[in-house]
C-alpha cells in the first residue's frame, strides 16, 4: 500500500492525538460540564438499578439478573471512554499513549460485543416468560442464566484480544491524529500505512458473529413474542405482556441504531464527523437512558 504524501512509516511513537472536540475548542467548558453530568447520571442510574435488584428479594428473577448485569456493563462501557475525554478537556490535551489507546479499544469492543450477546439473551428470556409463563422459573433457572452470562464473556474475550493485537501490530503513519473522541477500530485502521484488508475482514466477521447474529436472534424472538401476544384474548392481557418487553426493545433499538450506521456505513471524509457523533450515542447516550427507560416502563422498579 503506498504511503500518503509527506508522511513517513512509523510504528508506536508517542501515541495518538484524539481530535474529537478540536472543532469546538471555544466550548470546552460547556462540553466538559455536559459530559460530566452525563457520566454522573450513568453511574448513578445504573448503580441504583444494580443495587435495587440485589437488595429487593422480589426482583431476584432472571429478567432482573440480566438487567443488573446490563447495568454493570453500561457503567464499565462508559468508563472506558468518558473519563479520558473529561481529563482531555481539563488539561486541554487530547494525547493518549499507544498502550492506552490499545487498552481503550480492547475494552470498548469487548464490552460492546458482550452487550450485544446479553441483549439477545434478554430477548430469549422475555420470549420464554411470555410463551411459557408457568414453566418460566424452571426453564430459566439460575444455573442456566449464569452459564449464558459466563459463556458470553468466554466467547468474546479471546476474539477481541486477537483483533486488538492484530490492529496494533500494524505500522502507522507518523501523523497520529485520530479524528475521533476515543480509540475505535475503524478510525485507528485509517492511520495504518499497511494493507488492512484482512483487518477489515476480521472486523466485519466479528460484527457478523457478535452483533448481526445476536440481533437476528432478537428479531426472531420478538416475531415469536408478537405472535404469542396476538393470541392473548384480552386487551389488558396483551398490554401487560407487551409491557414486560417494551423496555428491552427500546434499548435494543437505541443501541443498535447508531452502532449499525457507524460500523456498516461506507466511511468517507464527509462521514467522519457524522460517525464520531453517532459513536457518542451508543457509548454514552444509550447507557444514560437505559435506567430511565427501564424505570419508566417497569412498575416493579421505583
CATH number at residue 283: 1.20.1070.10
Q: What is the pLDDT of residue 5?
A: 39
Is residue 5 domain-resident?
A: no
Tally of domains within the chain: 1
Strands 177-178 and 16-18: parallel
pLDDT tens per residue, range 77-107: 999 999 999 998 888 888 999 999 999 999 9
Handedness of CA 162, 164, 165, 169 (dihedral sign): positive
Q: What is the pLDDT of residue 8?
A: 45
Residue 65 CA to residue 78 CA, distance in Å, equals: 20
Is residue 7 domain-resident?
A: no
CB 203 within 8 A of CB 36: no
Q: What is the pLDDT of residue 268?
A: 52
Q: What is the pLDDT of residue 245?
A: 85
Q: What is the pLDDT of residue 3?
A: 41
- Which positions ≥6 away from 266 have C-beta within 8 Å? none
Residue 96 CA to residue 79 CA, distance in Å, equals: 15
Is residue 65 domain-resident?
A: yes
CB 79 within 8 A of CB 48: no
HEC sequence for 95-145: EECHHHHHHHHHHHHHHHHHHHHHHHHHHHHHHHHHHCCCCHHHHCCHHHH
CB 176 within 8 A of CB 191: yes
CB 121 within 8 A of CB 149: yes
Q: What is the pLDDT of residue 13?
A: 56
The parent domain of residue 163 ranges over: 12-297
Is residue 3 domain-resident?
A: no
CB 99 within 8 A of CB 148: no
pLDDT in tens, the chain (302 residues): 444 433 444 455 578 999 877 666 667 788 889 999 999 999 999 999 999 999 988 888 999 999 999 999 999 999 999 999 999 888 888 899 999 999 999 999 999 999 999 999 999 999 999 988 889 999 999 999 999 999 999 999 999 999 999 999 999 987 788 888 999 998 899 899 999 999 999 999 999 999 999 999 999 999 999 999 998 888 888 888 888 788 888 889 888 877 777 666 655 555 667 777 778 888 888 899 888 888 765 656 65
Backbone angles phi, psi at 181, to 5 degrees: -85, -20
- Which positions ≥6 away from 110 have C-beta within 8 Å? 156, 157, 160
Closest alpha carbon to 126 in 250, 220, 222, 236: 222
**Strand, coil or helix: what is 181?**
coil
Residue 77 CA to residue 82 CA, distance in Å, equals: 9
Amino acid at each position: 500500500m503506498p504511503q500518503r504524501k509527506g508522511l513517513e512509516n512509523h510504528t508506536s511513537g508517542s501515541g495518538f492525538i484524539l481530535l474529537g472536540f478540536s472543532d469546538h475548542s471555544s466550548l470546552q467548558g460547556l462540553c466538559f460540564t455536559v459530559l460530566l453530568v452525563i457520566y454522573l447520571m450513568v453511574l448513578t442510574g445504573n448503580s441504583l438499578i444494580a443495587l435495587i435488584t440485589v437488595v429487593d428479594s422480589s426482583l431476584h428473577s432472571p429478567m432482573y439478573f440480566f438487567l443488573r448485569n446490563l447495568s454493570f456493563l453500561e457503567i464499565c462501557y462508559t468508563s472506558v471512554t468518558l473519563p479520558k475525554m473529561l481529563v482531555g478537556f481539563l488539561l486541554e490535551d487530547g494525547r493518549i499513549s499507544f498502550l492506552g489507546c490499545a487498552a481503550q479499544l480492547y475494552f470498548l469492543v469487548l464490552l460492546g460485543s458482550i452487550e450485544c450477546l446479553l441483549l439477545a439473551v434478554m430477548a430469549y428470556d422475555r420470549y420464554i416468560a411470555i410463551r411459557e409463563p408457568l414453566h418460566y422459573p424452571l426453564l430459566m433457572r439460575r444455573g442456566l442464566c449464569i452459564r449464558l452470562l459466563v459463556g458470553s464473556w468466554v466467547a468474546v474475550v479471546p476474539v477481541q484480544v486477537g483483533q486488538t493485537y492484530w490492529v496494533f501490530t500494524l505500522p502507522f503513519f507518523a501523523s497520529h491524529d485520530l479524528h475521533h473522541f476515543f480509540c475505535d477500530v475503524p478510525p485507528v485502521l485509517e492511520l495504518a500505512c499497511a494493507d488492512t484488508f484482512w483487518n477489515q475482514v476480521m472486523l466485519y466477521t466479528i460484527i457478523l458473529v457478535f452483533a448481526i447474529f445476536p440481533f437476528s436472534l432478537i428479531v426472531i424472538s420478538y416475531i415469536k413474542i408478537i405472535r404469542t401476544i396476538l393470541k392473548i384474548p384480552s386487551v389488558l392481557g396483551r398490554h401487560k405482556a407487551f409491557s414486560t418487553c417494551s423496555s428491552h426493545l427500546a434499548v435494543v433499538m437505541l443501541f443498535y441504531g447508531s452502532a449499525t450506521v457507524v460500523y456498516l456505513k461506507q466511511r468517507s471524509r464527509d462521514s467522519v464527523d457524522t460517525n464520531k457523533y453517532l459513536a457518542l450515542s451508543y457509548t454514552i447516550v444509550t447507557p444514560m437512558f437505559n435506567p430511565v427507560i427501564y424505570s419508566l416502563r417497569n412498575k416493579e422498579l421505583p
